[in-house]
Structure 1
Amino acid sequence: MPRPGLHRRVPVRKVLTLVPLLLVAVVAVRHRSVLVEGFGQLRGAEWPWLLAAGGATCLTWVAAAFTRQGAVVQPLPKRRLLVTQFAAGAANHLLPTGLGASAVNLRFMTVCGVPLARSSAALALYLLAESVTRVGLLAVLLVVFPDALRLGGLLPAGLSGPLLGAAVAVLVAAVAALVLVRRLRAAVTGFLRTALGEARSVHTRPARALALWGGSLAFPVLQAAGLAAVGTALGLPVPPTHMALAYLAATVAVALVPTPGGIGSVEAALILALVAAGGPVALATAVVLAYRIITVWVPLVPGALTLGALVRFKVI
């Protein structure tokens, strides 16, 4: 039998602070060729535009903080909320898309005293607002620039049918589970009731509603602006608005692909989208690699260190 008090000598939180850095090392080794090529593409770029892309990336964390606060009625500590979004970005690139950031923010809200049911409802409201604004912005740009993107070029021939069939199958399975499993149906019903109540409370406060929807709109706009800045820095012969449209189309297309941070799937979709917008394949590839270096790889190590520090000091 273990000796009494042995578990107290195991520095669990100190060990957990090293986990993000270990994951960063694993991901970096697996994608070392991408890193080398991506940094190589940055050498010949126009640095003012790269700095603009970096600035847009930093502002996405501010937009995420506004949206997170807008999704919950209870005030959250502003500085810790902003730092948590930076750390959540790193977590999002180390775990399947959306799972890392959601787990970090759920834990943060719980530590701040928001009940788990309301934290989960706020998380769902955030995801809904972000999805609605991203898809809505894409739809508006497609209407304004109908010839900017040849959507048929986003997917290889014959692939759209199987993807649609898979999506329908998942939807049918989910509906069947809700209908047949009573406990699951009761749990979902209770969660929806809580979520709707939280959404009503948020929208009775104009400041919260503005933060929720304004931040949700600013987030994809800033991401798309970052790609357009990198494309301009490398001389991609595609108008910035068309590059922004290509970014939104690609990210919407890969939203359900369960890869860490979209690593791999996002690059492929972005290259296809930029080519569909009229960019040469080689230059589109260079733009995407440089863009992912700025938005993913450069912030990854400091983000992982911040995540470890937040765990160490019990912020999450």
Structure 2
Amino acid sequence: MVRVDGREVQVTGRLLAPWTRRTNDILRLVFATLFLTVVVTSSLITRRDWVGLERSISDIVGVLTPTQSNLVYIAYGVAILALPFVILIGLIATRQVKLLAAYAAAAVIAGVLLSITPRGLAAPRWHFDLDDRLNTVFSQFLDDPRWIAMLAAVLTVSGPWAPRRYRRWWWGLLLAFVPIHLVVSAVVPARSLLGLSVGWFVGALVVLVVGTPALEVPLAGAVRALGRRGVDVTALHVERPAGPGPLVLSATRGESTAAAVVELYGPNQRSGGALRQIWQYVRLRNDETAPFQASMRRAVEHRALMAIAIHDLDLANTTTIAVAGLDRGWTLYAHTAPRGTPLSEDDPVDVPWKSLRELHDHVISHGDLRAKEITLDDGRARFGGFGNAEYGALDTRLQSDIAQLLVTTTSLYGPRPAVTAAIEAFGRDTVLTASGRLTKTAMPQRIRNSVVDIKTMVTTARDEVKRQTGADQIATETITRFNRNQLIQLVLLVALVYVAYPFISTVPAFFNELRTANYWWALLGLAISGVTFFGASAALWACTSEQVNYKNLTIMQVANTFAATTTPAGVGGLALSTRFLQKSGLSTVRATAAVALQQAVQVITHVTLLIFFSAVAGASANLRHFVPSLTVLYLIGGAALGVMGTFMLVPKTRRWLGTSVRPRLKEVGHDLRELAREPKRLALIVLGCASTTLGAALALWVSVEAFGGDVAFVTVTVVTMIGGTLASAAPTPGGVGAVEAALIGGLAAFGVPAAVAVPSVLLYRVLTCWIPVFIGWFVMRWLTNHDLI
């Protein structure tokens, strides 16, 4: 029950949300971490400067006599000593059991952290011997960083529970030790500041782990706000507790149906909304973001005003009743219950499209066209949920509405009826333009979550739009300033430069060695590196049954070098090949099968050549250099068996092997058997795969010859294949670092001097890796601009 102005209002349902981790908790931990970093850094680097600054400030503010200073020290010490116990008594009195555990944990962790010494834990030596000077008794707490840390930790943990005015007094009292130290002892102890930063960090971490308590809901203020709008509430029922969204209640008069739906937005939701707005502004282009809302109150007001505007067009399924600011930072938005029934597959598909067209005719965008936000009443579609609506919307926002409703209606009615209704309502050209936003990225998160398999819905809607409009292709609209692939590529490029830095540092010495190199051998190595692209293209071309353009496929292989080198294990190259084949007209399944077939033949060819050349090398090539010790072999075997056993015993991984891996292996096996029945095609694929392996070995042999080395081609082939195989397991992009180390070590193992092996391998990598990677980036841009990938 809630008593409001002499009458009682019944409240049912779970009013307070469970403890949760709010945006404020995350921000608090971030700022505490930054503060701790600043304190530690300043203590280590600029401590002398800070001491000088503190002394100069103390000369200005230090106006107290010694007697007055002692009195201030004693009074402040009593307050600091009593503060944690006052808070503890308050927690016990209000029966905050869970908060008591967090309180104790924060105090213990903060105290223990600052008690760690090189010789173990140092216990505090606090005493209350009042025979000593009083200021000495309290100084042991004021100057001990453990006590300051414990105070800061318990204040941070107790803060979300306490009213704001109490929190301000608590923190003001604790932080007062800085000016008091300047007045009394001239210098603020660095260890006290360290204790403050550590305590704040520990408290913020404990709050994030445990969660913060739900705040008191100002129901009395909500009832009064509704009463001023003529809605005399007699009962409130909680429909949904507060959480990521508002606290939703239904207000009734006596036994009648709900008179209003009341949404209460808490103060902690303000920071989350601001962060979402900032993230959208950073990620999306300017014309994709709605104007900033200065506060949660302004956001709620905007929603209410848009509901009024759309209601005037008879297109809203709710009517705004009241908007009001309440105590403790809460905001109320009350409206009538939605009219009509939710949109379903049994309703006519053209009705929501006609209503959306009417909305757009008045230059209003909705921004949240989920099925649950659309109801049908009297044969007319009406909209609800206007938090993302915009008056005087740009064309981009209107196009986004069309794309959203295409996805929603496609999920309900299928692609053909949905696209037909869209074209009838908006016209062919408008729907075709808006279809550029039929991508997973362009769909808001709320739309993606409202349909099953958003990727399939988007794809089928795009295909149907192309079929009904006769368009060959739909240009994808770029709505973001950056995407996930660009971020990943940037990180990988940074990692590539980082890993390659040791070799970059040898560039001056390498160029000095180039003066003695035979440039004709180097040019031959560059030509051999180029031939390998034709071989790889021939293999993939044959795997596709010659269904793609061989010229473009060869150009793609150059870009493939960049994609494979900038991603671990070369997965980027496989993805690029698959994408190119899809753009060339192959289905996703057929393109994936062709790339998998090429990789399977490549592995088989590589292993066969390795066995063959190892046998040919015989006694002339001491392969013991590449054979690990017996202990290492046992460890590798044991690890392999352990991984196999884990995959077989864990149900989830065993299911993944059976449902994902096994069918792919069966497909590859089937393709290999079919390939064996076509000798010419098989021969072309094998020759293409062999040319890449032998071409790499020949390029390394030519590089060694360029620096006057004397080594057999068979030996270099074994070194290239074994070294490349070992380095392929390296997690670095393109095996950078691992490949160089393996090849240099392999050549040295066969007697090639380091003065020849090091520049030879670097020249080999320049010819086969760095030059193609540099060119490959421009080639990839060219392929993108020509819509080939």
Residue 234 in 1 paired to residue 703 in 2?
no
In the alignment, is residue 63 of structure 1 matched against residue 532 of structure 2? Answer: no
Q: Structure 2 matches for 1:164-175, cutoff 5 A? A: 164-175=637-648
Aligned to 1:127, the other structure's residue is in SS state helix
Cross-structure match for 1:292: 765
Deviations 1:59-90 (A, max 9, x none): 11111101111222251111110011110011
The answer to whether 1:223 aligns with 2:223 is: no
CA distance in structure 2 between the partners assigned to 1:47 and 1:74 by the alignment:
38
Letter of the 1:34 partner, please give it.
Answer: F
The farther-off stretch of 61-70 and 192-201 is 192-201
- Please say if 1:138 is aligned against 2:623: no
**1:34 counterpart (503, 518, 523):** 503
Question: Distance between the aligned counterparts of 1:193 and 1:25, measured in 2?
Answer: 38
Pairwise mapping of residues 44-63 of structure 1 onto structure 2 (< 5 A)? Answer: 44-63=516-535
- The question of whether the paired residues in 2 share the 8 Å contact of 1:226 and 1:291 is answered with yes
Write the mapping of 1:88-167 to structure 2, written as runs, cut at 5 A.
88-154=560-626, 159-167=632-640
Residue 654 of structure 2 is matched in structure 1 by 181
User: What are the Cα deviations for residues 28-73 of structure 1, in whole angstroms up to 9, with x where unaligned?
Assistant: 4652441353542433211111111111110111111011112222
Contact 1:21–1:304 (CA<8 Å) still a contact in 2? no
Q: Which has the higher contact order (CA 8 A, sep 6+)?
A: 1
Q: Which amino acid aligns with 1:67?
A: A
TM-score (norm 1): 0.86
Partners of 1:21 and 1:305 within 8 A in 2: no
The change in CA–CA distance for 1:155 and 1:184 in structure 2 (over 3 A counts) is: closer
Cα distance change on mapping 1:15 and 1:307 into 2, 3 Å? farther
Letter in 2 for 1:10: I
Cα distance, 1:183–1:167 mapped onto 2, change above 3 Å: closer
Q: Does the 8 Å CA contact 2:500/2:736 hold for their aligned counterparts?
A: no
Identity %: 25
Corresponding position of 1:195: 668
Which of 671, 684, 688 aligns to 1:211? It is 684
Q: In 2, distance between residues paired with 1:17 and 1:36?
A: 28
* Matching residue's letter, 2:607: V
TM-score normalised by the chain length of structure 2: 0.37
Say if 1:135 and 1:252, in contact at 8 Å, map to a contact too: no
User: Which stretch has the larger CA shift, 133-142 or 5-14?
Assistant: 5-14
Cα separation, 1, equivalents of 2:612 and 2:632: 26
Assess if the C-alpha contact under 8 Å between 2:499 and 2:732 holds in 1: no
User: Structure 1 residues 310 and 30, CA, compared in 2 at 3 Å: closer, same or farther?
Assistant: same
Going from structure 1 to structure 2, the CA distance change for 1:95 and 1:128 (only over 3 Å counts) comes to same
Matched, 1:264 2:733: no
SS in 1 for 2:619: coil
Which of the numbers 753, 759, 776 marks the counterpart of 1:303? 776
5+ long unaligned stretches in structure 1: none
1:294 and 1:84 map into 2 onto residues whose CA distance is: 18
Could you say if the C-alpha distance between residues 281 and 67 of structure 1 is closer, same or farther in structure 2, counting changes exceeding 3 Å?
same
Q: Distance in 1 between matches of 2:653 and 2:480?
A: 45
Shift of 1:169: 3.2
Q: For residue 439 of structure 2, what is the aligned residue in structure 1?
A: none
Q: Indicate conservation of the 8 Å contact 2:525/2:699, yes or no.
A: yes
Q: Distance in 1 between matches of 2:628 and 2:676?
A: 42
5+ long unaligned stretches in structure 2: 1-276, 278-288, 291-396, 401-441, 443-476
Greater shift after overlay, 174-183 or 85-94? 174-183
1:31 aligns to what SS in structure 2?
A: helix
The aligned amino acid for 1:247 is: T
Which of 717, 734, 738 lines up with 1:244 in the alignment?
Answer: 717
Determine helix, strand or coil for the equivalent of 1:261: coil
Query: 2:690 & 2:565 partners in 1: Cα distance?
Result: 21
Q: 2:748 aligns to what?
A: 275
Q: Write the letter of the residue equivalent to 1:37.
A: T
Partner of 1:146: helix, strand, or coil?
Answer: helix
User: Residues 289 and 252 from structure 1, CA distance in 2 versus in 1: closer, same or farther, beyond 3 angstroms?
Assistant: same
Greater mean alpha carbon deviation, residues 48-57 or residues 278-287? 278-287
CA distance 1:169–1:286, change in 2 (3 Å) = farther
Residues in 1 aligned to 2:737 and 2:612: alpha-carbon distance in whole angstroms: 27
1:312 aligns with 2:772: no
Q: Is the 8 A contact 2:539 2:688 kept in 1?
A: yes
Change (3 A) 1:252 1:180: closer
Separation in structure 2 between the aligned mates of residue 175 and residue 125 of structure 1, nearest angstrom: 26
Contact 2:496 2:736 in 1 (8 A): no
Task: Report the secondary structure of 2:614's partner residue.
Answer: helix
**Residues 283, 27 of structure 1: alpha-carbon distance in 2 compared, 3 angstrom cutoff:** same
Give distance in 2, aligned partners of 1:245 and 1:183: 36
Moved more, 248-257 or 11-20: 11-20
CA-to-aligned-CA distance 1:103-126 (integer Å, 9 cap, x gap): 110111111222222222222221
C-alpha contact (below 8 Å) 2:569/2:733 kept by paired residues: yes
Counting only pairs closer than 5 Å after superposition, residues 12-27 of structure 1 correspond to structure 2 as 24=493, 27=496
Q: Pick which of 223-232 and 240-249 moved more.
A: 240-249
1:75 aligns with 2:547: yes
**Residue 16 to residue 55, structure 1, CA distance change in 2 (3 Å):** same
Counterpart residue identity of residue 307, structure 1:
M
Q: Is the 8 A contact 1:96 1:258 kept in 2?
A: yes
The two structures, once aligned, show a CA RMSD in angstroms of 3.1
Judging changes above 3 Å, is the alpha-carbon distance between structure 1 residues 183 and 34 closer, same or farther for their aligned structure 2 residues?
A: closer
Q: In the aligned structure 1, how far is the partner of 2:579 from the partner of 2:650?
A: 28
CA contact (8 A) 1:126 1:212 kept: yes
Partner Cα separation in structure 1 for residue 531 and residue 493 of structure 2: 23
Name the counterpart of 2:217.
none
